[in-house]
């Protein structure tokens, strides 16, 4: 019997929290908890994956997953535009930047991540803020600022050739800007693709109108009250009206540090998503689980489910044991999928690569003991659905693993299939009869008796007569060479 | 030639127009009985009936074989102390049943009695059975096997449109639509004559999309086949709408003018990324996109669901997601467009309209609505307070049989629950715990094997009555020949029992007199039959409900102007994906799904007795992908032992590349040791109470007679 409700406070209001709230509501958590959420950004949660839409011109509301009314309707107290600065984990209170204090019983840190801002010369103005024209790409506000600043015909340099950088480059290119992407590694998306894959992607990106410069870094940003360009480490100077920094993200751990929680790269949690401090949990991009931090949404959602199971007691023994890494996206119009390992590790690991040189398409499978441990696809992703299911479930691959890359129905159904069940006539018999001249339903019926019982197979007989009858075969099968 | 033959036949023999006893397509049949020998009945498809237009499948073609079948029961049977069923007179059987019912009611209250009906019963029987249970027995406990069939589609349509009619348009509209999507339906096998409409649609340039984990005969005809992972239909349906939003394919004017609730739905779909959908369903994003474009970029398109989408623990939500899609594309209510359900059982539609469901009263009224209760109580001449409340749904009803659950006496009409229910071995045990089980059927089926009393009933050719087909067209089953001696109609049985129990209101002069009371009971309800008569139905080759007065021609098409909610608008529902109740895991690593053969019908109680059908399809085979078969070390024709957490079955192996490599399929038409439903799980949809027949987890290995191997 619960005599009073416990206070559950969630710090951070991003995609992880959005999912956690759904999971909590589904488990009727309100019976046990008074839930409050603190968010630094204004308004309700939104889908960060769709930021490109806002940069491209959609209204911010188009990507809002939970309006403030949603929180009200579910009796969840939302305090937005407010940063939590410290938890007193002994007294179980939290403190906000505007001086509020709030009691809690259980705290969940979902503070997410923050953009890595490299210390470039000239990047900051005299006030220490980013120089006008220099942007990071993380929030709705960032997108709105970039959109307001950008004019078609302007030039932009995007620093970073990972997922976010490519997305920003594409959105700016679509707004009519001249876009150059500068990437430090040898090839694009090097966290998800091997060198060849990244190169193929790079070629396609260039075809889409974006200039790519790999193996280069930005040495300095120059300008006056506004940015005017960048200098690369190879000495090249690129003029630019905008510079977008997309150099990756790192877990946001400032609050955890200030509160004395154990922090490594991220906030350290166990399989229940608990920190070692009683009553404090963490999940999502800010958390470090078994030495790994995550920057993709699927693992975060999986963690949210486990956390909801544990906190509500709906499955108190639920545990998060890690996630299979998978990214699937369309970058600058190019379909890309990547799962698991990029390269073989053991001597016995098998690798298959298919290079479509002219199309700049690339497919690679990494196989161990007949099972898929990694795959990447650039430009030709039709088999992704099949591959990811094999990868997720450790499903054995066909003896010839390349079969999984083909359309699932490489083999036709057996011709022994009954078409006419009244007279037990198989497809093979009918095809043979049609080829021997029985090229109408009536003729097939006379020869094989098919269709002379209930008649329900007549539609199919018609098709067989049409496809395999003499008149069909007399037509040229190929129009021209 | 055919015309001439027919004329000749008419001269020498009596030909009667009636309808096939099997599925919801209710093919028109012309049945000829030789004057000299009434036992010789021949059947042909009716060229003039506008639904099947002279086509019929092998089941209908051979349906007369059951009339003079040697196993047919021709006298009531009662279980003797030695366990045998022996023939007794009608009076002694009915007296025994009535006395036992009365005694159980005295001892344990009316709720200890229950009836289980069927989608095979005519409207008149379904109506009278509902009345019998509530008035003569005084019990709330009546439900029917339609709960295993269309309940999810019914619940979804009621929520979205405010009314549930399988198809809101005549089946001929299929031929007119530019894109037809069949979702979880293998109608080439389950409803073969419908394929003429699909063929007509395709030959006039239309596109066909099929969604099914198997590459069925229906999928073979498709322009695009989405071979999804079992149990992920809801994810795919939501994903298609999310893609349609992303691709700006919606009809925003239609949404504004004719619907409500879209804003909430649209927000909920923001997290339905195509990539997640692809990962869950295995359906490539490109194929998802193709499907969306095929549905959206044409003036007309329709989605029809079958049991594949519906028989899941989230069947209602899946139907709602598909309705969401078609509403958002602005298709519902437009010519040859919208959403429909391919009802399964012969009278699955009518069976759910007239009070055969635990929560409903005639005219598609709700038993918990005070006004609806008052309206029906007035027709039945009782106080509304005397009308019982809502009873248990089909599976829950069967699960509650016996001392612990509270139901001690059960009457079963036209259903073979032991074969048709999920977790079938458990249900068999529950039936064994009854103090009285009465089975009304023409044969001693698997369920009757547990019965205390079997009451032999007339078959389709020996009775009249109305059926409501998948289109909502009310049609007339006409008597072809007299009933053999020793059998009675279900209506007579209900009357006899009601009178022995002292209840009035069950004496009717004819079947049409029952229909007349039914018509009155439906007046003002959503499924309004009040303007129909047998003569009118006969003349018009069927009348579509609603038909509120005798001048009214019936309503072939719904929703052109308004929906049936008070606002006149259709309602969107934000429905969230959730996994199947049981997913493959380390111990049970494969999906198992069930379905049908062309040659058999439902529990097979009828079709397994027809020599021609048994000859064509002798036994159930488990369909398995060649790669999985190789891994398990089984060859075509060998035996595979399939086990779930509920039971085990040995099936003959049929190796086929038509099935997904992670899935096994078997038909559920057989009972006993070959019953697929021994394996299935009784997870119920929270709204429709539909069991999850279409997905559970199993493991498999070669049976002892084959080389051993385990997965």
Please report which confidence band the pLDDT of residue B398 belongs to, taking 50, 70 and 90 as the band edges: very high
Contacts of B683 (CB under 8 A, 6+ apart): B313, B580, B581, B582, B691, B692
Read off the pLDDT of residues B534-572 as tens digits, 9 standing for 90 and up.
Answer: 999 999 999 999 999 999 999 999 999 999 999 999 999
Q: Which residues of B touch A382 (CB under 8 A)?
A: 284, 286
Cα–Cα distance measured from residue B711 to residue B709, given in angstroms and rounded to the nearest whole number: 7
Model ipTM value: 0.89
Closest approach of chain A CAs to the CA of B294, in angstroms? Answer: 18
Which of A421, A451, A462 is best to mutate for the B interface (most B CBs within 10 A)? A421
Which of these ranges, A240-249, A464-473, B425-434, B701-710, has the smallest mean pLDDT?
B701-710
Structure tokens at B350: 């009518």
Q: End-to-end CA distance of chain A, in Å?
A: 81
* pLDDT higher than 60, residue B307: yes
pLDDT digits (tens, 9 = 90+) for B41-83: 899 999 999 999 999 999 999 999 999 999 999 999 999 999 9
Q: Could you tell me which of B548, B634, B480 has the C-alpha nearest to residue B66?
A: B480
Mean pLDDT of B190-206: 93
Q: What is the mean pLDDT of residues A191-214?
A: 95
Tell how far CA B447 is from the center of its chain: 19
Calculate the average pLDDT of chain B: 93
> With 50 as the cut, is the pLDDT of residue B350 above it?
yes
On whether the CB atoms of residues A116 and A106 are closer than 8 A, the answer is no
Selecting from B195, B598, B657 the residue whose C-beta is nearest the C-beta of A409 gives B657
Average pLDDT, chain A: 92
CB-CB neighbors (< 8 A) of A381 in chain B: 284-286
Report yes or no: A326 at the B interface, CB cutoff 8 Å.
yes
Give, to the nearest 10 degrees, the angle between helix A458-468 and helix A427-435. 40
pLDDT single digits (tens) A97-153 = 999 999 999 999 999 999 999 989 998 877 888 999 999 999 999 999 999 999 999
Min Cα distance B583 → chain A (Å) is 12
d(CA B392, CA B398): 9
Closest to A386 (Cβ–Cβ): which among B62, B282, B285?
Answer: B282
**What SS3 state is found at A69?**
helix
Q: CB–CB of A421 and B599 under 8 A?
A: yes
Set of chain B residues whose Cβ sits within 8 Å of the Cβ of A393: 584, 662
Interface contact flag, B284 A381, Cβ < 8 Å: yes
What is the three-state SS of B593-618?
EEECCCCCCCCCCCHHHCHHHHHHCC
pLDDT mean over B622-632: 95
Decide if B661 and A395 are in contact by the 8 Å CB cutoff. Answer: yes
Nearest CA of chain B to the CA of A333: how many Å? 13
**Best of A385, A393, A395 to disrupt the B interface by mutation (most B CBs within 10 Å)?**
A385
Q: Are B354 and B127 a contacting pair, CB within 8 Å? A: yes
A50–B58 C-beta distance less than 8 A:
no
Which among B226, B579, B661 is the top mutation candidate for probing chain A, defined by the most A β-carbons within 10 Å of its own β-carbon? B661
B279 vs A326: CB contact, 8 Å cut-off? yes
Three-state SS at B294: helix
A152/chain B closest Cα distance in angstroms: 24
Q: Residue A239: what pLDDT?
A: 97
- N-term to C-term CA, chain B: 59
Contacts with A461 from chain B: Cβ below 8 Å: none
- Which contiguous run of DSSP H or E holds residue A78? strand A76-79
pLDDT score of B711: 46
Does the structure show a pLDDT above 90 at A453?
Answer: no
Q: For A225-281, give the DSSP string.
A: SSEEEEEETTS-EEE-SEEEE---EEE--HHHHHTT--BSSSEEE-TTSB-SSTTEE
The Cα of A38 is separated from the nearest Cα of chain B by a number of Å equal to: 21
Is residue B254 very low, low, confident or very high in pLDDT (cuts 50, 70, 90)? Answer: very high
Nearest CA in chain B to A422: B58
Confidence of residue B612 (pLDDT cuts 50, 70, 90): confident
Q: In what order do the strands lie in the sheet with A218-223?
A: A218-223, A227-232, A237-239
Percent of chain B surpassing pLDDT 90: 88
Helical (H) or strand (E) element with A441: helix A441-448
Mean pLDDT over A53-72 rounds to 95
CA distance B276 to chain A (A): 8
Kindly state the tokens that stand for B315. 């069947």
Say whether pLDDT at B509 is over 90: yes
| pLDDT at res. A481 | 34
How remote is the C-alpha of B507 from its chain's centroid?
A: 30
- Whether the pLDDT of residue A411 is over 50: the answer is no
Beta strands in B404-485 (DSSP E): 409-413, 436-441, 453-456, 465-468, 473-477
d(CA B675, CA B620): 9
**Strands annotated E in B514-667:** 543-544, 570-571, 590-595, 621-624, 639-643, 648-655, 663-667
3-class secondary structure, A407: coil
What pLDDT, on a 0 to 100 scale, did the predictor assign at position A454? 73
Question: Is residue A340 a contact partner of residue A323, using CB atoms and an 8 Å limit?
Answer: no
Can you spell out the DSSP letters for B669-693?
---GGG-GGGT-EEEE-TTT--EET
Of A381, A385, A456, the CB nearest to B57: A456
Q: Residue A418 to residues A415, B427, B470, B599, B602: CA-CA distances in angstroms?
A: 8, 35, 27, 11, 20
CA B518, CA B545: separation in Å to the nearest integer?
13
Element of type H or E holding A468: helix A458-468
Predicted confidence at residue A112, as pLDDT, reads 97
pLDDT digit string (tens) for B644-679? 999 999 999 999 999 999 999 999 999 888 999 999
Cβ of A389 within 8 Å of Cβ of B195? The answer is no
Residue B279 with chain A: CB contacts under 8 Å: 326, 328, 385, 388-389, 392
What is the average pLDDT across B262-272? 94
pLDDT tens-place string over residues B687-709: 999 999 999 999 999 997 544 44
Phi (first) and psi of residue B5, to 5 degrees? -60, -40
Residues in chain A closer than 8 A to B657 (CB atoms): 409-413
CA closest to B655 among chain A residues: A414
The answer to whether the Cβ–Cβ distance between A395 and B612 falls below 8 Å is no
Contacts of A385 in chain B (CB under 8 A): 278-279, 281-285
Answer yes or no: do B616 and A422 touch at CB < 8 A.
Answer: yes
Structure tokens at B709: 């191997």
Residue B69 · residue B62 · CB < 8 Å: no
The neighbouring-strand residues paired with A109 are A11, A282
Which residues of A are less than 8 Å from B192 in CB distance?
Answer: 454, 456-457
Residue B13 binned pLDDT confidence (cut-offs 50, 70, 90): low
Measured CA to CA, the distance from residue A208 to residue A196 in angstroms comes to: 19
Which stretches does DSSP call E strand in A309-402?
Answer: 326-331, 334-340, 350-356, 361-368, 371-378
Mean pLDDT of A403-417: 64
Phi and psi at A124, nearest 5°, equal: -95, 150
Q: Report CA-CA distances (Å) from B152 to A291, B313, B324, B545, B708.
A: 46, 9, 15, 21, 41
Confirm or reject contact between A414 and chain B (CB < 8 A): yes
- In whole angstroms, what is the distance from residue B456 CA to residue B444 CA? 9
A27 CB near a chain B CB, below 8 Å?
no
Cα distance between residue B326 and residue B338, in whole Å? 6
Q: Cβ of A383 under 8 Å from any chain B Cβ?
A: yes
- Confidence at residue A478, expressed as pLDDT on a 0 to 100 scale: 40
Instruction: State mean pLDDT over A5-14.
Output: 97
Chain A positions in Cβ-Cβ contact with residue B286 (cut-off 8 Å): 381-382
SS3 string, B334-373, reads CCCCEEEECCCECCHHHHCCECCCCCEEECCEECCCHHHH
pLDDT of residue A415: 67
Test B56 with A382 for CB contact under 8 angstroms. no
The C-alpha atoms of residue B129 and residue B414 are separated, in whole angstroms, by 12
**For residue A67, which residues of chain B lie inside 8 Å, CB to CB?**
267
- How far is A70 from chain B, CA to nearest CA, in Å? 10
Reported confidence tier of residue A414, pLDDT bands at 50, 70, 90 = low
Nearest to B199 among A65, A389, A459 (CB): A459
pLDDT at B705: 58
**Would the CB atoms of A388 and B45 count as touching at under 8 Å?**
no
């Amino acid at each position: 019997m619960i005599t009073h409700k416990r206070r559950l406070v969630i710090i951070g209001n991003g995609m992880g929290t959005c999912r956690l709230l759904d999971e909590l509501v589904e488990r009727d958590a309100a019976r046990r908890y008074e839930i409050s959420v603190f968010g630094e950004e204004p308004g309700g949660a939104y889908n960060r994956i769709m930021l490109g839409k806002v940069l491209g011109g959609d209204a911010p509301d188009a990507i809002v997953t939970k309006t403030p009314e949603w929180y009200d309707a579910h009796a969840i107290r939302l305090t937005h535009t407010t940063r939590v600065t410290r938890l007193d984990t002994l007294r179980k209170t939290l403190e906000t930047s505007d001086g509020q204090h709030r009691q809690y019983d259980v705290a969940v840190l979902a503070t997410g991540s923050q953009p890595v801002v490299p210390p470039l010369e000239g990047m900051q103005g005299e006030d220490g803020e980013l120089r006008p024209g220099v942007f990071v790409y993380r929030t709705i506000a960032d997108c709105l600022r970039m959109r307001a600043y950008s004019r078609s015909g302007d030039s932009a340099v995007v620093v970073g050739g990972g997922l976010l950088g490519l997305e920003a480059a594409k959105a700016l290119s679509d707004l009519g800007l001249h876009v150059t992407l500068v990437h430090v590694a040898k090839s694009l998306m090097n966290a998800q693709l091997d060198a060849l894959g990244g190169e193929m992607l790079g070629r396609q990106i260039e075809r889409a109108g974006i200039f790519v410069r790999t193996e280069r870094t930005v040495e300095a940003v120059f300008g006056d009250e506004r940015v005017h360009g960048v200098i690369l480490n190879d000495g090249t100077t690129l003029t630019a009206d905008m510079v977008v920094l997309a150099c990756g993200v790192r877990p946001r751990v400032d609050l955890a540090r200030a509160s004395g929680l154990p922090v490594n790269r991220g906030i350290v949690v166990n399989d229940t998503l608990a920190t070692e401090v009683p009553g404090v949990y963490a999940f999502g991009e800010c958390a470090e689980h078994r030495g790994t931090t995550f920057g993709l949404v699927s693992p975060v959602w999986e963690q949210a489910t486990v956390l909801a199971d544990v906190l509500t007691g709906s499955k108190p023994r639920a545990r998060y044991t890690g996630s299979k890494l998978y990214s699937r996206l369309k970058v600058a119009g190019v379909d890309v999928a990547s799962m698991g390992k990029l390269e073989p590790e053991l001597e016995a690991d098998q690798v298959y690569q298919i290079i479509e040189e002219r199309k700049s398409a690339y497919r690679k499978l990494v196989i161990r003991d007949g099972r898929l441990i990694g795959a990447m696809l650039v430009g030709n992703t039709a088999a992704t659905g099949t591959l990811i299911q094999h990868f997720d479930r450790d499903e054995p691959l066909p003896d010839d693993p390349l079969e999984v890359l083909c359309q699932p129905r490489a083999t036709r159904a057996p011709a022994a299939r009954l078409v006419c069940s009244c007279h037990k006539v198989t497809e093979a018999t009918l095809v043979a009869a049609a080829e021997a001249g029985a090229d109408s339903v009536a003729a097939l019926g006379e020869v094989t008796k098919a269709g002379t019982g209930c008649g329900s197979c007549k539609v199919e007989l018609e098709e067989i007569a049409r496809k395999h009858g003499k008149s069909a075969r007399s037509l040229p099968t190929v129009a021209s060479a | 030639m055919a015309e001439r033959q027919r004329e000749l036949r008419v001269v020498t023999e009596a030909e009667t127009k009636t309808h096939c006893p099997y599925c919801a397509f209710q093919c028109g049949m012309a049945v000829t009985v030789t004057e000299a020998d009434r036992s010789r009945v021949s059947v042909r498809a009716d060229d003039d009936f506008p639904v099947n237009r002279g086509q019929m499948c092998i089941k209908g073609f051979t349906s007369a074989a059951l009339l003079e079948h040697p196993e047919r029961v021709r006298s009531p049977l009662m279980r003797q102390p030695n366990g045998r069923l022996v023939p007794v007179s009608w009076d002694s059987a009915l007296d025994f049943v009535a006395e036992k019912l009365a005694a159980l009611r005295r001892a344990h209250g009316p709720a200890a009695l229950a009836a289980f009906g069927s989608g095979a019963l005519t409207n008149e029987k379904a109506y009278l059975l509902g009345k019998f249970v509530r008035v003569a027995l005084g019990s709330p406990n009546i439900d029917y096997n339609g709960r295993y069939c269309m309940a999810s589609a019914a619940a979804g349509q009621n929520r979205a449109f405010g009314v549930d009619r399988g198809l809101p348009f005549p089946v001929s509209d299929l031929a007119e639509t530019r894109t037809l999507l069949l979702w979880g339906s293998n109608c080439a096998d389950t409803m073969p004559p419908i394929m003429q409409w699909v063929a007509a649609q395709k030959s006039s340039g239309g596109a066909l999309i099929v969604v099914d984990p198997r590459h069925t005969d229906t999928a073979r005809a498709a322009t695009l086949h989405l071979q999804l992972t079992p149990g992920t239909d809801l994810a795919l349906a939501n994903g298609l709408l999310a893609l349609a939003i992303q691709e700006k394919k919606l009809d925003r004017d239609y949404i504004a003018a004719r619907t409500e609730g879209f804003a909430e739905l649209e927000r909920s779909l923001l997290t339905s990324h195509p990539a997640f959908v692809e990962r869950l369903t295995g359906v490539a994003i490109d194929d998802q996109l193709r499907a969306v474009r095929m549905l959206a970029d044409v003036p007309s398109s329709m989605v029809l669901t079958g049991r594949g989408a519906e028989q899941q623990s989230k069947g209602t939500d899946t139907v709602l997601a598909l309705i969401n899609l078609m509403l958002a594309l602005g298709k519902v209510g437009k010519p040859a467009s919208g959403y429909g359900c391919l009802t399964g059982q012969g009278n699955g539609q009518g069976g759910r309209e007239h009070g055969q469901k635990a929560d409903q009263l005639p005219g598609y009224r709700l038993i918990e609505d005070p006004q609806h209760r008052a309206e029906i109580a007035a027709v039945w001449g009782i106080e509304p307070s005397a009308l019982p409340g809502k009873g248990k749904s089909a599976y829950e009803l069967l699960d509650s049989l016996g001392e612990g659950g509270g139901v001690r006496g059960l009457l079963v009409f036209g259903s073979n629950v032991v074969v048709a229910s999920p977790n079938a071995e458990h249900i068999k045990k529950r039936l064994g715990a009854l103090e009285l089980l009465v089975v009304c059927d023409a044969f001693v089926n698997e369920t009757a094997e547990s019965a205390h009393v079997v009451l032999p009933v007339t078959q389709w050719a020996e009775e009249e009555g109305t059926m409501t087909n998948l289109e909502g067209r009310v049609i007339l089953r006409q008597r072809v020949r007299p009933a053999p001696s020793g059998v009675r109609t279900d209506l007579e049985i209900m009357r006899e029992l009601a009178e022995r129990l002292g209840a009035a209101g069950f004496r009717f002069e004819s079947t049409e007199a029952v229909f007349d009371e039914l018509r009155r009971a439906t007046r003002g309800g959503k499924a309004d039959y009040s303007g129909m008569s047998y003569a009118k139905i006969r003349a018009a080759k069927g009348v579509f409900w609603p038909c509120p007065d005798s001048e009214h021609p019936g309503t072939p098409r719904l929703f052109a102007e308004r929906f049936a909610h008070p606002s006149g608008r259709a309602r969107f529902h934000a429905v969230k994906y959730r996994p199947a109740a049981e997913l493959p895991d380390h111990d049970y690593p494969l999906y198992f799904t069930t379905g049908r053969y062309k040659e058999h019908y439902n529990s097979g109680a009828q079709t397994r007795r027809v020599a021609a059908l048994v000859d064509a399809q002798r036994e159930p085979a488990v369909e398995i992908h060649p790669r999985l078969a190789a891994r398990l070390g089984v060859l075509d024709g060998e035996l595979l032992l399939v086990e779930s957490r509920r039971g085990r079955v040995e099936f003959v192996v049929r190796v086929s590349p038509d099935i997904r490599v992670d899935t096994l399929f078997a038909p559920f038409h057989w009972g006993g040791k070959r019953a697929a439903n021994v394996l299935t799980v009784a997870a119920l949809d929270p709204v429709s109470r539909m069991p999850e027949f279409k997905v559970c987890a199993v493991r498999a290995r070669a049976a002892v007679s084959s080389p051993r191997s385990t997965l």
